[in-house]
Amino acid sequence: MPESNHADSLSLDDLGAVPLLESLTSGAMVCDAAGQVLYVNPALRQLLGTPSLQTVTRLNDWIQPPPKVDCAFCLGLPDGEPTPLHSGFLQSASQPAQPEALKVKVKHSTLGAGWILTLVDPFSEDTTLTQAHSDFVSTVSHEFRTPLTSIKGFADTLLRYGTQLPDEEKRRFISIIKDQADRLIRLVENLLAASRLSAGRVELSYRPIPLKKLLEKTMESVRAKTMAPSSAHSGTPRVFQLSVHPESIEVWADADKLEQVFINLLDNAAKYSPDGTPVSVRAEFLPEDDAQVRIVVQDQGPGIPAELLPKIFTQFYRVESPLKQQVEGTGLGLYITQSLTTAMGGRILAESAPGQGSTFTVIFPAATPERQAIYQRRLYASEVER
Ligand code: ADP
């Protein structure tokens, strides 16, 4: 029997698991549902440099979760469900002298009899970097290559056969070239915006924004985009159903950044849902707090599997589906949307299930007289300081 905190009560042998876990090169431990450590294999003892298992009774004694970990079990919450962690890492508290070696990736699975098997592997920053880098290269090169190929192809055709083509055809080709150039500009702007946001460089100029007007303007520009000849939804105007109640709602935000948030959400709703299905946009004060405004964008598209919802806000991530190839995208839109929303004191939530459409909710501070007065006072104070 291997060394264990609770050797007497442990019957992993009955499961035939011990020899397997003993020889595993991954760190492995078995806990009960309360997070009490029952067994630790040699690879994990070595990884975490734990001198004596007698001093360790709970998962949390070794591993301190940094803020990104969302597994209730790892966080030591009373009703913590073991959640398989696909990304993110925990940091061991046991060897502060070697912080790099102690970043670990954790995965749980249920063993039966109320036991939880936790696999702990050293977290390689290199691997993650390589993954992020390869997502970046494949997305960005695809997103550059597609419009460039199209621009070159139509320009070549115009040069070679322009004199023989009817005017209408020539106009169509030129408008495709323009749409594709716009697409490239959007890509470059998104890359720059994402890099500014990652570096925390975002300047905000707050004022009260009449919401209905801004949403109508955004819908118009997204509708125009979906009707562009190069759009996957070419020729079909998207129906947006807007309800702003009361119509006079004003949000306290930066106008351009707020517009960017709505453009991204409406653009996604239109891009990822079938022609002819409406996109509904509803804005209202939060029932429990009229100093906050909720804007809900709901589509009837294919939806997103629940376990992928946290990932869609990371840079360059796109859900693997046939739509990925058909629909223009870089995986930057929601990262930008979330970063801008939180920078303006708001928050964003996504709800979806396959085949049930997607609902994105953003909540922003309302333009209350108190907020405006505080802002004016701060502005005045900083001018006086200068
Ligand atoms: P993209 O440029 O790929 O649209 P986003 O960051 O805006 O990037 O979105 C990330 C991914 O989330 C998309 O690639 C898509 O897979 C998924 N997604 C976003 N919005 C929706 C939606 N309304 N319906 C279905 N999938 C969506």
Whether residues 304 and 357 fall in one domain: yes
* Whole-angstrom distance, CA of residue 77 vs CA of residue 61: 14
Domain assignment of residue 185, given as a range: 1-201
Domain CATH code at residue 53: 3.30.450.20
DSSP per position, 138-203: HHHHHHHHHHHHHHHHHHHHHHHHGGGS-HHHHHHHHHHHHHHHHHHHHHHHHHHHHHHHHTT---
- Counting Cα atoms < 13 Å in the Cβ hemisphere of 321 gives 15
Q: Is 378 a member of any domain? A: no
pLDDT confidence of residue 37? 83
pLDDT confidence of residue 234? 58
Whether residues 155 and 225 fall in one domain: no
Whether residues 212 and 339 fall in one domain: yes
Whether residues 71 and 195 fall in one domain: yes
**Domain count for the chain:** 2
* Whole-angstrom distance, CA of residue 273 vs CA of residue 208: 32
Q: Is 303 a member of any domain? A: yes
Domain end among 158, 177, 201: 201
Which of 189, 262, 268 most suits a substitution to test ligand 1, by most atoms within 8 Å of the C-beta? 268
Q: Is 384 a member of any domain? A: no
Whether residues 221 and 299 fall in one domain: yes
Q: Enumerate long-range contacts of 367-373, CB under 8 Å, 24 or more apart.
A: 367/207, 367/208, 367/209, 367/250, 367/251, 367/252, 368/252, 368/291, 371/252, 371/291, 372/208, 372/252
Domain end among 175, 201, 227: 201
* CB 269 near ligand 1, within 6 Å: yes
* CB 279 near ligand 1, within 6 Å: no
Q: Is 383 a member of any domain? A: no
Whether residues 216 and 252 fall in one domain: yes
Whether residues 220 and 368 fall in one domain: yes
Sign of CA dihedral 308, 87, 322, 350: positive
Whether residues 182 and 317 fall in one domain: no
* CB 304 near ligand 1, within 6 Å: yes
Q: Is 381 a member of any domain? A: no
Q: Is 385 a member of any domain? A: no
Whether residues 228 and 129 fall in one domain: no
Q: Would you give the DSSP letter of residue 366?
A: B
Q: Is 382 a member of any domain? A: no
> Low-confidence residues of the chain, pLDDT below 50?
1-8, 10, 86-87, 96-97, 99-101
Q: Is 123 a member of any domain? A: yes
* Ligand 1 atom at shortest distance from the alpha carbon of 139: 3
* CB 319 near ligand 1, within 6 Å: yes
User: What are φ and ψ of residue 288, in 5° steps?
Assistant: -90, -5
Q: Would you give the DSSP letter of residue 93?
A: S
pTM, two decimals, is 0.65
Quote the ligand 1 centre to 331 CA distance (angstroms). 7
pLDDT confidence of residue 44? 81
Tokens of 22: 């003993």
**H helices, E strands: number in the chain:** 11, 13
Quote the ligand 1 centre to 99 CA distance (angstroms). 35
Whether residues 137 and 231 fall in one domain: no
Q: Which residue has the tokens 């955004």?
A: 218
Domain end among 138, 171, 201: 201
Whether residues 150 and 133 fall in one domain: yes
Domain CATH code at residue 314: 3.30.565.10
* CB 35 near ligand 1, within 6 Å: no
Distances (CA, A) of 220 to 10, 214, 215, 254, 362: 65, 10, 9, 20, 20
Whether residues 175 and 100 fall in one domain: yes
